[in-house]
Chains A and B, each alone.
Chain A
Amino acid sequence: MTTVTDTPAAQSHPTTTVAGTRGTPAAPAPLSGRDAYRDELTRLAELDPSILCLEADLGGKGHPFQAAHPGRFFNLGIAEGAMVDMAAGLAAGGYRPFVSTFAPFAALRAAESLKLTLGYLNSGVTVVAPYAGVSGAWFGTTHHCLEDLAILRSIPGVTIAAPHGEAEMRAVVRAAARSGRPHYIRTGRNARYTSLDLPAGAELPDVNWEFPAGPDAVCLVSVGEEGTRLAVEARTLTPGTAHAHLVYADHEHLTRSAAELARRHSHFVVVEEHRGQGGVAEALALLLPRCEVTSVAADRRWPSHGGDHAEVMAALGLDLNAVLHALTRAGAPHSTNHSRSLACTS
């Protein structure tokens, strides 16, 4: 396996801030999903001595958990299958392991270990998988992962989360630690997002209604970092469109989410950074047989060219243009900005 060492800036704990307007204090920039995971887990471990942090050479450099809890931090090297299986042994021994490596290596290389550890054994192990989707961008196809939701969704009993932004990631990590149940958490690379407003309370909602609308409106359904970014952008360009954001993508959560979605709308456009096959749209289509579900996802091509994250997504047909087209096909009114957007992105 070829491994890619991230840039030092990406590995270090971020301390940058977003410059504010003149005369106002700078607002702290949100952490990326994986940095938010590292920081939140480190905090949780101060209170819970059973929490362990395992890495497989792709996240251990400068890890705050290692500095704070060196006796409970284990960089096991490039050994994803052994890491997940050893986590099963550690969980059986009374610990709560969090393991992390890039999504393609967690979900595919160690797929059988995930099936046995997270699924069959129902171990209290959490797998945190950055580089999901094509966030690996120019690193190439080996470092992309457009299949993990399909794999994990087919394994019973695994809670699957695709948080958007720092606050959601922190909430998901806390929920995983609190539950002691198997979790798979996918995130991107270094993109930083501010989470949508979250309802008060400890539990994340099955559906977070970022923008409600009447029952005749088309409803955007967003999953993950980029899916949510695109949905928010498309919604602002398409007046009257609703937007429902999902944090969890496993069958149990989607079943409840589908019921809530169907109470409000009948036409949905699902945006996710995954292949359509095995993705959330496909699941919702089965759960919502009387509704119309349109998928905006990566197409069937292999992302084999370079580019940044957005460019690789666009090469796979996953961009704002595609979302706006899907909304139009689903019956949403044209926005005044639609043609301009099409012109910009085509």
Chain B
Amino acid sequence: MTAVTERPVTLRADLATLAERAVAARRLVVDMAASPRGCHLGGSLSVLDILLAALDRAAAGDGTEVVLSKGHAAAGLYAALHVSGVLPDDPAPRYGLAGEPYTGHPGPGVPGVRFPTGSLGHGVPYAAGWALARRIGGQGGLGIAVAGDGELQEGLVWETCQVAAARELGNLVLVVDVNGGQNDGLVADISPLPRLAERFAAFGFDVVEVDGHDLAALTEVFADDRRAERRPLAVLARTVKGKGVPAVEGRAGSHYVTIDAARAAKWKRAIR
């Protein structure tokens, strides 16, 4: 391993800018829910603030890669990429249409997306491989995987955690969007995750718990250089499914939603 030193990373956007992006992105997600295809609305809205903060870290240009492992939140990713300036065109009018790359789970045909995700669990090892590549080369930058709490039911996540800890991938950051929901209902009802922080700690991770809608807290987490770290970082980000749209906030039934244009307009006006 190449010797490394810790140094601060300069983030690109101030908190007010990130907050404006969050509002704009949530409205885009609602637009995609109003498309003929509908979208995974609840998880796209819960994960948005995490994605915006992570993409801002990536914009620092140090080789940080953000992988949305919970790929069903593709609408949230497309919206976040667009408002962050990575994706030049508005994805909403093209979402789910023939000949367009904006599928219900993201693939590398979308600018800013390097790995295909949606088959749950794979984004974590993709990010771990990226982190290992940066470390082998003595380079900075994080491998950031953004997973869902339901996704933690996949064995591949824990298989990768075992490997990441053994390889001392301190530049791997696994963010869990803990919104409490999954496709068929509540995580707590289907396959609960008791003592989650302790689980990650037992795997050899550093663990922090944050409010997943607190942009200041999230940007602070992502600001660490971590090149000198030897323990991967798990970020348990407590979020609200459907965050920002009062009609669906906190409701497990918001997992996949298709709405008409009139309802979309009403919901978008309510987003602040």
Interface residues of A (CB under 8 A from B): 52, 71-72, 74, 76-77, 79, 81-83, 85-95, 112-113, 116, 120-121
Contact between chains at B134 and A93 (CB < 8 Å):
yes
Contact between chains at B107 and A86 (CB < 8 Å):
no
B112 at the interface (CB under 8 A from A): no
Which 6 A/B pairs are nearest by Cβ-Cβ distance? Answer: A89-B129, A93-B133, A85-B125, A86-B129, A89-B130, A82-B160
Contact between chains at B156 and A89 (CB < 8 Å):
no
- A95 CB contacts on chain B under 8 angstroms: 133, 136
Interfacial residues of chain B within 183-197, with CB under 8 A of chain A in the complex: none
Contact between chains at A113 and B137 (CB < 8 Å):
no
Interfacial residues of chain B within 212-229, with CB under 8 A of chain A in the complex: none
Contact between chains at B122 and A89 (CB < 8 Å):
no
Contact between chains at A113 and B129 (CB < 8 Å):
no
Contact between chains at B125 and A74 (CB < 8 Å):
no
Of A77, A89, A120, which one neighbours B125 at CB under 8 angstroms? A89
B131 at the interface (CB under 8 A from A): yes
- B136 CB contacts on chain A under 8 angstroms: 52, 71-72, 90, 95
Contact between chains at B1 and A85 (CB < 8 Å):
no
Given contacts A77-B162, A85-B128, A89-B125, 12 further A-B contacts (CB under 8 A): A77-B166, A85-B125, A85-B160, A86-B132, A87-B129, A89-B143, A90-B129, A90-B132, A92-B126, A94-B133, A112-B122, A120-B107
Docked CA distance A77–B221 (Å): 30
**B65, B125, B167 pick with most chain A CB within 10 angstroms:** B125
Minimum distance in angstroms from A341 CB to a CB of chain B = 48
Docked CA distance A72–B107 (Å): 29
Docked CA distance A74–B166 (Å): 11
Docked CA distance A83–B129 (Å): 8
- A113 CB contacts on chain B under 8 angstroms: 122, 125
Minimum distance in angstroms from A127 CB to a CB of chain B = 14
Contact between chains at A116 and B119 (CB < 8 Å):
yes
B260 at the interface (CB under 8 A from A): no
B127 at the interface (CB under 8 A from A): yes
Contact A81/B156 with A76-B163, A86-B163, A89-B126 known, Cβ cut-off 8 Å: yes
B36 at the interface (CB under 8 A from A): no
B203 at the interface (CB under 8 A from A): no
Contact A85/B134 with A79-B160, A116-B119, A120-B107 known, Cβ cut-off 8 Å: no
B116 at the interface (CB under 8 A from A): yes
